Amino acid sequence: MIQPHIYFYIPQDLFPLEKPKNFNENWRGFGLGIYAWTLQTYLRLKADGFPCELVNYLPQSGIVLTHRNCLSIQKSIKPGQNLLLICIKAESDFYPYAQLHVVQNPEETATFNPTYYIPHWTQPGLIPRDYQRGERFENIVFFGHLNNLAPELLSDEWKNTLSQLGLNWCPIINNNHWTDYQSIDPRWNDYSQADAVVAIRSFGKENKYINKPATKLFNAWLAGVPAVLGYESAYRAEGIPNFNYLEVTSLNELLFALRQLKSNRTIRQYLIRNSQSKLNQIHWDKIIKKWRYFLEQIATVAFDEWCSKPRRVQNMILESRYLSWMINRGKSKILSSTFKKISQ
């Protein structure tokens, strides 16, 4: 079996004018999914000696990996007779004409086939908590986009409530468009003054966020700080609630958790100690191995199988996938509408 050429594709309109020198640079662009997934993966694989190319044009043959948002700005792209298109789905919708999808949450592999789960990279250039802070517990941090933080945690009331507990609310929140990295605050990598991470998109258990990754949990583990998180499938798949992170489903539970962490250093040490055994699993070299296996054993086999089919059969497969995507999309809209009516 001949190894086909492997490309990471970013359209010319989105191709970065400046690129990081290496994959561990605290580059603003890594705050965007299109670069965090495509450019960063390319740089890490290249540094590991894996043959691949970064291109700003769509190749006519080989294996092409691209972010879902890159496909959104193009006219309908269908794979040719000798092209395997791999969509890095991230938080967006599936792409009906992609023969394979890479997803960032293991639960999502059951929603559209064929999909393959690979954990998202942790924060490049991450600075862990300063050990000289010792047993101090004052600074509660959130690093993320405005859309990924519960509205209750954006209010002055929340900030004042924490202040009354002797805690500082220290969020670094970005509100940039998904194509704009110049305005991103570059401090997402700095956990040096953090004493705990709070990352909650919404309270309750209604939304499991099966399209979201466990990255905030991974980063907290690497930084050596306890994490207080919402009820999400990715966190539960990778961690154990109340063992290597705290899970809360209401504002009252969140406040109780922070009070417990502040008053009981044993709980803090327990959570941090239990997370240490997970560090080896989320190290970048482990994720590199997952990418290598996927590209060499899954994607290459899929490429050979695709190229061996007559073009009329390929077209039938693509149209069948499009129909399946439309049906699933319709079901999702019905479920979403029903849920909204029930919630009202």
What would the DSSP string read from start to end of 109-153? GGTSSSEEE-PPPPPTT-BPPPGGGTT---EEEEEEEGGGS-GGG
CATH 3.40.50.2000 intervals, the chain: 131-281
Plot region of 50 (φ>0 → left; ψ -120 to 50 → alpha; else → beta): beta
The pLDDT, as a whole number, for residue 119 is: 96
Residue 78: both structure tokens together: 């269908």
The pLDDT, as a whole number, for residue 73 is: 80
The pLDDT, as a whole number, for residue 340 is: 46
Q: Which CATH number fits domain 131-281: 3.40.50.300, 3.40.50.10860, 3.40.190.10, 3.40.50.2000?
A: 3.40.50.2000
The neighbour count for residue 47, using CB atoms within 10 Å, is 13
Q: What is the pTM of this model?
A: 0.92
SS3 169: strand
Residues 6+ apart with CB under 8 A from 134: none
Helix axes 284-293, 40-47, angle to 10 degrees: 90
The neighbour count for residue 333, using CB atoms within 10 Å, is 10
CA 94 to CA 302: how far, in whole Å? 18
Show pLDDT as tens, one digit a residue, over the chain (344 residues). 668 999 999 999 999 988 999 999 999 999 999 999 999 999 999 999 999 999 999 999 999 999 999 998 876 789 999 999 999 999 999 999 999 999 999 999 988 778 999 999 999 999 999 999 999 999 999 999 999 999 999 999 999 999 999 999 999 999 998 888 988 999 999 999 999 999 999 999 999 999 999 999 999 999 999 999 999 999 999 999 999 999 999 999 999 999 999 999 999 999 999 999 999 999 999 999 999 999 999 999 999 999 999 999 999 999 998 888 888 776 655 545 544 444 44
Residues 6+ apart with CB under 8 A from 295: 6, 50, 63
Q: Nearest to residue 207, comparing CAs of 340, 344, 341?
A: 340
- Please list the residues that pair with 115 across neighbouring strands: 101
CA 342 to CA 194: how far, in whole Å? 39
